[in-house]
Structure 1
Amino acid sequence: MFTVKRLLTVALLTISMVGIASAGQKRPNSLKVTATAYNSVSKQTDSTPDIAAWGDRLKPGMKAIAVSRDLLKQHGLSYGDKIKIKGLEGEYLVLDKMHSRWRKKIDIYMGKDRREAKRWGKRTVTIHW
């Protein structure tokens, strides 16, 4: 009896230690989302088009995205996360968030190049983080 209790205690401690050790590790995720593009112009944002939601100053050439708030709350994305967008080169940083009306959506920052943003249009893409 004493040995069984001791074995159970050791087993439970081992399981809980493994859970604690892996709790801080992020697992890679992927998700299909709608992707549009936006520019640093007040007609598309607000009166401070170069300032993102968390206070970052956006500059043309940056690889940044805005994400819908459900991706932050339900899918574990957070400020500063590095995102890969299937079909595009490099990694994009989560530096902005979108109005709460949007769901499963990202907005790719394209500086002041409105023509490029219009050319991008609206697409379904897979993101990885």
Structure 2
Amino acid sequence: MSLSVRITSFYTAAFLVILCSCRDPETRSMEVRATAYNSVRWQTDKDSNITAWGDTLKPGMMALAISRDLLDSGLHHGMEVTIDGLEGKYVILDKMKNKWTKKIDIYMGKDVARAREWGNQKVTIRWVPNDSI
């Protein structure tokens, strides 16, 4: 094999390695039921600003609670999630009681009217698993 063929082969292989390592991470998605919740005593346990994982919620935060079955789907505390139809990234900071499945709860501060207006909708959530980064 000539030197020029070997060099071309080397650069082709190097290009393919770089191309494969630069691809976008795998994004996962799932359709879930979405409701909204607030930092008000009658909607939460004990301190209405403290999540099940011990985080402190403050109005204006883009936070989510997830049903515990979603933990088996690769979602976890502190992970960023996008919700089709809504802007920005939401951080998983809370988890729901065991009775809920395939469900998220979008944190809406103390704005109960906004949460009621949101109601109960089907949405698609998207996330990048940690093993894809």
TM exceeds 0.5? yes
Letter in 2 for 1:27: E
| Structure 2 Cα separation of the partners of residues 85 and 30 of structure 1 | 10
TM-score, length-normalised on structure 2?
Answer: 0.76
Q: How many Å apart are 1:53 and its aligned residue?
A: 1.1
2:113 — aligned with what? Answer: 115
| Structure 1 Cα separation of the partners of residues 31 and 68 of structure 2 | 15
| Structure 1 Cα separation of the partners of residues 69 and 41 of structure 2 | 24
Pairwise CA RMSD: 1.3
Q: Which runs of 5+ in 2 are unaligned?
A: 1-24, 128-133
| Structure 2 Cα separation of the partners of residues 107 and 37 of structure 1 | 5
Aligned residues: 104
Q: How many Å apart are 1:54 and its aligned residue?
A: 1.0
Q: Which runs of 5+ in 1 are unaligned?
A: 1-25
2:27 — aligned with what? Answer: 28
Q: How many Å apart are 1:64 and its aligned residue?
A: 0.1
| Structure 2 Cα separation of the partners of residues 127 and 97 of structure 1 | 16
Runs of 4+ residues over 2 Å off in structure 1: none
Q: How many Å apart are 1:27 and its aligned residue?
A: 3.5
TM-score, length-normalised on structure 1?
Answer: 0.78
Residue 92 (str. 1) matches residue 120 (str. 2): no
Instruction: Among all aligned residue pairs of Structure 1 and Structure 2, give the percentage whose two residues are the same amino acid.
Output: 58
| Structure 1 Cα separation of the partners of residues 106 and 41 of structure 2 | 16
SS in 1 for 2:114: helix
Q: Deviations over 1:43-84 (max 9, x none)?
A: 0011211001111100000000000000012x0101000000
